[in-house]
Amino acid sequence: MRLDSGAFIALFAIFFLVYSAAPSPWKRWMLVAGSVAFYATLNPRYVPLLVGLGVFTFVIASYIHRETIAFRRDVLLWVGVGVDLLVFVFFKGAAPAAHALSALGVGSSSLLQVAVPLGVSFYTLQAIGCLIDVHRRVYEPPQNLVSFLASFTLFPHLLAGPIVRSSFLVPLVEKVDAVAWPTARRALLLFMVGLVKKGIADKLAPVADAAFDAVHPISSLEAWTGLFAYAAQLYGDFSGYTDMATALALLLGLDLPPNFDLPYLATSPADFWRRWHISLSSWLRDYVYIPLGVRLRRRRYTNLVATWIVAGLWHGLSPLFALYGLYHGVLLAGTDWLSRRVGGDDEVRGIRRVAQTALTLYLVFMGYVLFRARDVSAAGRYFVALHAFRAPSGAVRGSLSVIAACVAAVVFGHLLDHAMRRSALERPWILWPAMAVAVTCLALVSGAAQPFIYAGF
């Protein structure tokens, strides 16, 4: 089941009614049972991996917390992190390894013929962050395994984030209670916003697929049309999932941190990553970039590039994702170096802000080519198509209409985000009309549902 499916919504409504009536101590058990059941409908063969890794992380974290000898604490940390990384590398690297062996004419082992468990990239990062926090003594792990598993397996954010740290989520789980009507009302609105974004994203998916998966060379206008469609699709799909996940968690009494903040209004690459996939950016900062800075002083830009190569490989163990991470690392390092020498006002306004936003979007969109292309050579051909000024082979008006629709979709999504952030949609005179408009928009864009993009990571 998917979060945007009718079956899931119906079952969650039943679960929510029972969950709301249950005493607080039982709610943690229900969170574990409900999360495992939800995961089993999607990836039943990997339920033992999810639960097993959660139990393993809990046990290792408890031993690290109780251990007083520094060397033993370090060994326990490396064992725990090593197991988490081994799980991640094996499942994320099995398919690329099998493909590489096949290309070399070598038969691959049956061990490499495995599917990637849904959400493995997200819950392994959560496990690693938990162990590091306990080792740093900035977080005391719970003594109750159920509380930890309820946070570790929590189904709303399990498949595509946000990456919520145990130090934040476990205390919420331990004091979870029934939600008041204002909170439930906000959650329902937020879920509807996510549904609308996802519906629009699904409508744009065929346009992006046609451009990026084209067998024959395409014109520059077709390439830009596909890129705009993919940028709008990725934003609607990913932020829409985040909205739905946050709304479901809110109905369960858990207020997750934001993962998006009007990202396409960013004025620099660094500003973009402060607004897009915030949980991943902050995780990389605290558990990769800062530790590298402690060990390798005076290597700010080297550490920045290394951190974002890790970010690229987190998405997939392939040359293309490594190149994607390298691109953003160099981009962030280069713009940081430039801003330190050129300087400027802290707050950008007017024409300068518009120009910087346009340039930032161009640079981000170029990264999307690396993110979406099938392989490195396909990405190279797409870059050429974007900048070769090839004459369009089809109707120009149709392509321009699609680009305009993509811009309108992004603007609409940002307006919804801004309205929700300011609680504008919760005002009595606009609440129910807003929900009616949301349902109407969803009906208008309904069609063949597409899988969530980040569920593949």
Contact present, 276 and 263 (Cβ < 8 Å):
yes
For every residue of 373-410, DSSP letters joined together read SSSHHHHHHHHHHHHS-PPPSS-HHHHHHHHHHHHHHH
For residue 248, what are its two tokens?
A: 């479901």
CA-based nearest residue to 337, from 348, 329, 346: 329
HEC-encoded secondary structure of 34-78: HHHHHHHHHCHHHHHHHHHHHHHHHHHHHHHHHCCCHHHHHHHHH
Catalytic position from the list 135, 157, 277, 315? 315
User: Which residue type is seen at 298?
Assistant: R
- Is 157 a residue of the active site? no
Q: Give CA–CA dist 191/358, Å, rounded.
A: 30
For residue 98, what are its two tokens?
A: 């099998």
Q: Which residues contact 140 (CB under 8 A, 6 or more apart)?
A: 65, 134
Class of residue 10 by CB neighbours under 10 A (exposed 0-12, middle 13-18, buried 19+)? exposed
Q: Give CA–CA dist 280/311, Å, rounded.
A: 8
Peptide bond into 451 cis (omega under 30): no
CA-based nearest residue to 63, from 3, 130, 9: 130
Q: Show which residues are catalytic.
A: 315
